[in-house]
Structure 1
Amino acid sequence: MREESMISKGNSLNLLDEFELILESDPLIDEVGFIHPSQFVTLNKEATSSLKHEDANFWSRDHKLAISTDVLLPLYKAAKDAFMHAISQYKRHGNLSDASGYASNLESEAMKHSKALLLLSCDFGTAWNFRKLIVSKKQKIMLFLDELLLSALVLSNSPKSEKAWCHRRWVIKMIAGKCSTLQDIAGKESELVEKIAERSKMNYRAWNHRCWLVSYMTTEQVLHELKKSRNWAGLHVADNSCFHYRTRLMLRIMEEHCHKLEDGTSDENNEIYQIWQEELDWNEALIKRYVGREALWLHRRFLSLSWIRHFTTTLGDTSNYRACKSSINGDISIFHG
């Protein structure tokens, strides 16, 4: 029994070595998935020719990696054991001054094993925390960007992983003010959420991440996002998270408008009025087309309340909204139709 256990452990380590070799040899891998062993026979000839043998455990082509489900458990155990051993050694020797680079090698080993482990177990908090420790210690932009690539890879197979989304937010907070391309990153983050939301319906965590990103967007990006997300929302009227995102975008627009009013620099009353008018008209058209959709009515309540607060002059208590009132007198009859 002990001999069989040792053989099994040896095979698991070989699997881990093969898995990590694939990850290192192709840094462009952007998608990971798990398939049943029987599915290998259905692969086309071009894909099958890349397999080492008929019962291959991994299949990698066009920067996508598939892992056979029959090796998940032994592979996970091997990755976990290797990672825990590596960080144990790192804690023991990592603070030593070593001209030979021994401590650095331990660090690299732990980072390599943590990557494999997170792709197999996306919510392994110790692995995420260790990566935060190493990356924050080095403070190199490229390492932070690598963390965005890794978490995106994890999310390709686990789109609702809260720890992966939290890791992305941590990275963005760390590089805020240090990276000249932060707006570009925010734009790409928004595109990633939309891509994931298309495949993973009702993904609250993804949309919550997109709402969080709004505070890092420029005014131009906010307006672009509002326009771009309209088509998606119109095709997914049952997804309340998407309309919550539009609410966040419009609140950001209103906040900027209020600041300009307070500073006496606002000349955009007509523009913000038009944004709300167009949203109301679009919302009404969707309500008539998709009768009874709660998300549409909830969005209309937000639009109506905002209109009453900011575009009418009939509020009983104007002290809280004096700075945000528009010179345009809204017609309350717009909600009667």
Structure 2
Amino acid sequence: MKEESMILKGNSLSLLNEFELILESDPLIDEVGFIHPSQFVTLNKEASSSLEHEDANFWSRDHKLAISTDVLLPLYKAVKDVFLHAISQYKRHENLSDASWDEGNLESEVMKHSKALLLLSCDFGTAWNFRKLIVSKKQHILIFLDELFLSALVLSYSPKSEQAWCHRRWVIKMIAGKCSTMQDIVGKESELVEKIAERSKMNYRAWNHRCWLVSYMTTEQVLHELKKSRNWAGLHVADNSCFHYRTRLMLRVREDHCHKLEDGTSDGNDEIYRIWQEELDWNEALIKCYVGREVHLTKRCPTGLRNSLLIHLP
């Protein structure tokens, strides 16, 4: 029994080494998924002969990674064990304040194993927290951007992961005011939410993240988002999250207008009244278009937005 346990542990560590080697060899992997072993045959037939990685457990090509469901449990147990050991070593040496300890090596071990762990268990809070701890010590923009890339990879297989969305907000807070491309990052964040919303319907966490982003947008970005999200909302009337997002955008337009009035830089109320009236007219058209539908959400969402706009009419 003991020998069997040792063999299983050895096999699990071998799987982990293979998994982490794939992640290191292709740092641009942007999508991960878990598939039944029988699906590997189909993937191999559809792919050309020049696969980056192919075996019975993992499949990697064009920055996409597939993991066999057969190895998930032993792989998870192995990476969890090595991660917990790594953070134990890290905390022990940090508490001892030993000048001889290789901090960089231990940090890289924690980061490597935490990445593998989060790709198998997206809500493992300790892994996210230790990444925050190490990244915050570095205070380097590129490392923060790597965290955005990792959390996007996690969201590719778990689009409703609260931990992943929270991690993205933490990163944005940390780089706000320090990054010259902040507005580009905010724009890409909004695009990410829309992309995820297309394949993950009624994703409250994603839309809540997009609402949170509004406070980091410029006035021009807010107006652009209003225009861009109108088409999406018109095609997804039952998804009330998008209408909540538009309400947040409209309120931001109103806030900016009030600030301009206080500063004496506004030309008057004509522009904001025009924006408000266009929104109400469009909203009324949606309500009339979807009257009589069986799904009550198709009426509730536009009506809720309309009521909110009327209440906050400048």
Q: How many residues align?
A: 304
Q: Which runs of 5+ in 1 are unaligned?
A: 311-337
Compared CA separation, residues 44 and 74, structure 1 to 2 (3 A): closer
In the other structure, the counterpart of 2:32 is 32
For 1:97-134, what per-residue CA distance to the aligned partner results, in whole angstroms no more than 9, with x for missing partners? 23xx7221111111100000001000000000000000
Q: 1:294 aligns with which of 296, 300, 304?
A: 300
Partner SS, residue 59 of structure 1:
strand
Q: Which has the larger radius of gyration?
A: 1
In the other structure, the counterpart of 1:283 is 283
In the other structure, the counterpart of 2:263 is 263
In the other structure, the counterpart of 1:117 is 117
Q: What do you get for the CA RMSD once the two structures are aligned?
A: 1.3
For 1:140-175, what per-residue CA distance to the aligned partner results, in whole angstroms no more than 9, with x for missing partners? 111101100000000000100001100000000001
In the other structure, the counterpart of 1:57 is 57
In the other structure, the counterpart of 2:179 is 179
TM-score (norm: length of structure 2): 0.94
In the other structure, the counterpart of 1:155 is 155
Within a 5 Å distance, the mapping from 1:65-84 to structure 2 comes to 65-84=65-84
In the other structure, the counterpart of 1:316 is none
- Please give the alpha-carbon distance, in whole angstroms, between the structure 2 residues aligned to 1:48 and 1:266: 60
Within a 5 Å distance, the mapping from 1:1-337 to structure 2 comes to 1-45=1-45, 47=47, 49=49, 50=51, 52-53=54-55, 56-94=56-94, 95-98=97-100, 102-291=102-291, 292=296, 293-307=299-313, 310=314
- Specify the code of the residue in structure 2 equivalent to 1:217: M
> After alignment, is 120-129 or 36-45 more displaced?
36-45
Compared CA separation, residues 268 and 39, structure 1 to 2 (3 A): farther
Contact 1:30 1:63 in 2 (8 A): yes
- Specify the code of the residue in structure 2 equivalent to 1:114: S
> After alignment, is 292-301 or 64-73 more displaced?
292-301
For 1:161-200, what per-residue CA distance to the aligned partner results, in whole angstroms no more than 9, with x for missing partners? 0011000000000011111111110000000000001110
- Specify the code of the residue in structure 1 equivalent to 2:303: W
- Specify the code of the residue in structure 1 equivalent to 2:110: A
Structure 1 position 96, deviation (Å)? 2.6
Partner SS, residue 73 of structure 1:
helix
- Please give the alpha-carbon distance, in whole angstroms, between the structure 2 residues aligned to 1:24 and 1:172: 25
- Please give the alpha-carbon distance, in whole angstroms, between the structure 2 residues aligned to 1:262 and 1:107: 50
For 1:255-297, what per-residue CA distance to the aligned partner results, in whole angstroms no more than 9, with x for missing partners? 0111111222211421111101111111111111112521111
Compared CA separation, residues 305 and 153, structure 1 to 2 (3 A): same
> After alignment, is 115-124 or 298-307 more displaced?
298-307
- Please give the alpha-carbon distance, in whole angstroms, between the structure 2 residues aligned to 1:212 and 1:71: 37
Q: Which runs of 5+ in 2 are unaligned?
A: none
- Please give the alpha-carbon distance, in whole angstroms, between the structure 1 residues aligned to 2:254 and 2:305: 16
Contact 1:40 1:48 in 2 (8 A): no
Higher relative contact order structure (alpha carbons within 8 Å, sequence separation ≥ 6): 2
> After alignment, is 262-271 or 178-187 more displaced?
262-271
Compared CA separation, residues 251 and 121, structure 1 to 2 (3 A): same
Structure 1 position 44, deviation (Å)? 4.5
Structure 1 position 47, deviation (Å)? 2.7
- Please give the alpha-carbon distance, in whole angstroms, between the structure 1 residues aligned to 2:286 and 2:61: 42
> After alignment, is 290-299 or 239-248 more displaced?
290-299
- Please give the alpha-carbon distance, in whole angstroms, between the structure 2 residues aligned to 1:268 and 1:220: 18
Partner SS, residue 196 of structure 2:
helix
Structure 1 position 46, deviation (Å)? 5.2
Structure 1 position 85, deviation (Å)? 0.4
TM-score (norm: length of structure 1): 0.88
Contact 1:141 1:179 in 2 (8 A): yes
Partner SS, residue 43 of structure 1:
helix
- Please give the alpha-carbon distance, in whole angstroms, between the structure 1 residues aligned to 2:247 and 2:57: 46
- Please give the alpha-carbon distance, in whole angstroms, between the structure 2 residues aligned to 1:12 and 1:71: 8
- Please give the alpha-carbon distance, in whole angstroms, between the structure 1 residues aligned to 2:273 and 2:48: 59
- Please give the alpha-carbon distance, in whole angstroms, between the structure 1 residues aligned to 2:4 and 2:268: 75
Partner SS, residue 111 of structure 1:
helix
Structure 1 position 92, deviation (Å)? 1.6
What percentage of residue pairs aligned between the two structures are identical? 83
Structure 1 position 16, deviation (Å)? 0.5
